[in-house]
Amino acid sequence: MDAVERTVAIMEDDPTFDAGVGSVLNIEGYVELDAIIVDGASLKFGSVAAVRRVKNPISLARAIMERTEEMMFVSEGAERIALELGFELIDPEELIVERERRAWERRMSRIRGTVGAVALDSSGRIAAATSTGGVPLKRPGRVGDTPLIGCGAYANELGGASSTGQGEPIMRVMLSKLSVDFLVRGSHPTEAARRSLSFMADRTGGWGGIIVLDREGRVGYAHTSKRMAVAYSVDGEVVAKISSLE
Task: Go through the chain and tell me how many residues it has.
Answer: 246
Quick one: which of 20, 14, 15 has its CA closest to 35? 20
Please, where are the H alpha helices in the chain? 2-12, 57-67, 75-84, 98-105, 167-173, 175-184, 189-204
Active site residue 224: no
Residue 67 amino acid letter: R
Please, where are the H alpha helices in 30-117? 57-67, 75-84, 98-105
CA angle, 175 then 32 then 241, to 5°? 50
In sign, the C-alpha dihedral spanning 95, 74, 25, 245 is positive
CA–CA gap between residue 122 and residue 52 (Å, rounded): 36
Task: Considering the candidates 7, 68, 114, 204, report the single residue annotated as catalytic.
Answer: 114
Active site residues: 114
